[in-house]
Amino acid sequence: MEQLIKLELPSLSLIIPELVVLLTGFILFTLDLVYKRLNHALAITVSLIGYLIALLFLFLNWGLKGETFYGLYHRDGFSSLMQAFMILLTMLTLGFTHAYYKQRRSTYGEFYYILNFALVSGMFLVSSYNLLALYVALEAVSISFYILTALLRSDFNSKEGAFKYLMLGGLSIALASYGAGFMYLYSGSLDLRYILTHVAENQYFLVLGLVLFLVGFAIKIGAVPFHFWLPDAYQGAPTPITAYMASVGKLAFFAPIVRLMPYVQEHFAYAWVTTVGIISAVTMLYGNLTALVQKDVKRLLAYSSIAHSGYILAGIAVAKVIGLKAVIYFLLAYALMGFGGFMVLALLERVPNWENRLEQFSGLRFSVPWLSLSFMVILLALLGIPPTVGFVGKALVFMALSFEGLWWLAFIMIIATGISTGYYLRITALMFMKEPNHTFDLSISGGERALLLLITFGIVLLGAVPIILWNFVSLSAENLFVR
């Protein structure tokens, strides 16, 4: 007797924010075709309207959960929280970029819809357990980042950084796709939840696939020894795009690994803790030690980003609810801190002959006292000084490690943080305790100044009153562990 397969219509209500952002991208693309030189004020206005509508739908349906497109897309509290931060950071990016590109005579209309497509691809990447959907979203985010990295006219470093990113990025996607292939060969399913909960005795294909899949994402997040592309890409990219990759990119690329955490306890707990813990320790130590000897502050912050990937991996090693809560909080905290740090450099690069050299920060407070104060707060937050959000993030990861008894990794985390004191405080001392080599006038709009002060205020507020963010983080982490 023939069985009829009932095909249900996809529930579009679950993906309204993504659809709004995607439609915004097509509108920007169409405007760029109609107008040979897209009006940047119009592009920014259309983008902001689209993002605000997407945020509105996101908050109106905050508690909405479910799957659609036959399991390809999954909506839950974690995806909503990640997407809200990604949209907000994209809106902040638009507030800094036009003046930056205008000064460098690199104002391309393509920038706006490529940035938009990077956002919508990242939103899908944080919202799926399906290997096929993850592959497509990962590829889309990566291609957008390759283009954005190279989007500086007549800048060799920008092109070199994009090329290195392309080569290593292609390798990461190839490894992740091979891993997905082996996992499918093992289980006959593309759903990570099914694959990791239906484990048979013969696990060779599963283990090989899982390792390749995780190595692919380890390249994307810049974990040692898969980090080689990151310093050059971060240094060569337009600095607002570096800020975007260090924040939104970090959220997007870490999300699939975070979703794996609840499913490795039963069969892979020891191997997971050992492998991820070792990679975390090496990444923390290498990132901080290498940053300590950098003379270029932009490259220094790139190695700091590598070190912070190590801190986040330390929390991921604790594949339990307490570790998951710490990881999500730290991810959001670093997204805000890393974004603010690179945006300070983007503003300073308007100064003639500014090259982000360490000695150029001597006596910076005499020229731009408010900018120096904001940068100091961001640096202290990256170091983990209270009452900043960076302190709360590191404290949560340390607590998770201690509850799990991973004292060796907690001890390495303390050592790595101590090493980072050398370069964070050195920049702060140069700005506030040294005489200036020269003074200058920096032309910054009132809107840009307000946005940077808003970021600085958010870093302090979320550290002083962590419950504001903690309630969202705690609920989303607990829901991920409910099967």
Looking at the DSSP bridge assignments, the partners of residue 73 are 68
Looking at the DSSP bridge assignments, the partners of residue 40 are none
What pLDDT band is residue 301 in, cutting at 50, 70 and 90? very high
Counted domains in the chain: 1
- The whole-number pLDDT of residue 3 equals 45
Q: Does residue 409 sit within a domain? A: yes
Exposed/middle/buried for residue 145 (C-beta within 10 Å: 0-12, 13-18, 19+): buried
- The whole-number pLDDT of residue 483 equals 59
Q: In this predicted structure, which of 60-74, 81-95, 232-246, 388-402 has the lowest mean pLDDT?
A: 60-74
Report which residue type is found at 101: Y
- Confirm if 168 and 217 have CB atoms less than 8 A apart: no
Q: Does residue 125 sit within a domain? A: no
The model's pLDDT over 450-466, given as tens digits with 9 standing for 90+, comes to 999 999 999 999 999 99
State yes or no: pLDDT of 251 exceeds 90. Answer: yes
- The whole-number pLDDT of residue 4 equals 46
Exposed/middle/buried for residue 438 (C-beta within 10 Å: 0-12, 13-18, 19+): exposed
DSSP for 297-366 reads: HHHHHHHHHHHHHHHHHHHHHS-SHHHHHHHHHHHHHHHHHHHHHHHHHHHHTTSTT---BGGGGTTHHH
State yes or no: pLDDT of 54 exceeds 70. Answer: yes
Q: Does residue 166 sit within a domain? A: no
Q: Does residue 290 sit within a domain? A: yes
Q: Does residue 11 sit within a domain? A: no
How close are the terminal C-alpha atoms of the chain, in Å? Answer: 34
d(CA 176, CA 138) in angstroms, rounded, equals: 10
- Confirm if 331 and 251 have CB atoms less than 8 A apart: yes
Calculate mean pLDDT across residues 180-191: 87
- Hey, what are 469's tokens? 């963010």
Mean pLDDT estimate for the chain: 88
Q: In this predicted structure, which of 195-204, 334-343, 357-366 has the lowest mean pLDDT?
A: 195-204
Could you list the residue range(s) of the whole structural domain that residue 289 is in?
268-483
Alpha helices in 104-155 (DSSP H): 110-125, 131-149
State yes or no: pLDDT of 6 exceeds 70. Answer: no
**Local structure of 68: helix, strand or coil:** strand
Question: DSSP class of residue 465?
Answer: S
Q: In this predicted structure, which of 259-268, 302-311, 395-404 has the lowest mean pLDDT?
A: 259-268
State yes or no: pLDDT of 5 exceeds 60. Answer: no
The model's pLDDT over 110-166, given as tens digits with 9 standing for 90+, comes to 888 899 999 999 999 999 999 999 999 999 999 999 998 888 877 778 888 888 888
Q: Does residue 38 sit within a domain? A: no
State yes or no: pLDDT of 89 exceeds 60. Answer: yes
Calculate mean pLDDT across residues 250-266: 88
Instruction: Select the more confidently predicted residue: 35 or 261.
Output: 261
State yes or no: pLDDT of 482 exceeds 70. Answer: no
Calculate mean pLDDT across residues 284-292: 95
- The whole-number pLDDT of residue 43 equals 87
Q: Does residue 287 sit within a domain? A: yes
- In the chain, % of residues over pLDDT 70: 97
d(CA 246, CA 256) in angstroms, rounded, equals: 17
Q: Does residue 285 sit within a domain? A: yes
- The whole-number pLDDT of residue 8 equals 67
Burial 348-365 (b: 16+ CB within 10 A, else e): bbebeeeebeeebbbbbb
User: What does each C-alpha distance from 476 to 58, 79, 180, 325, 336 come to in angstroms?
Assistant: 15, 8, 26, 8, 19
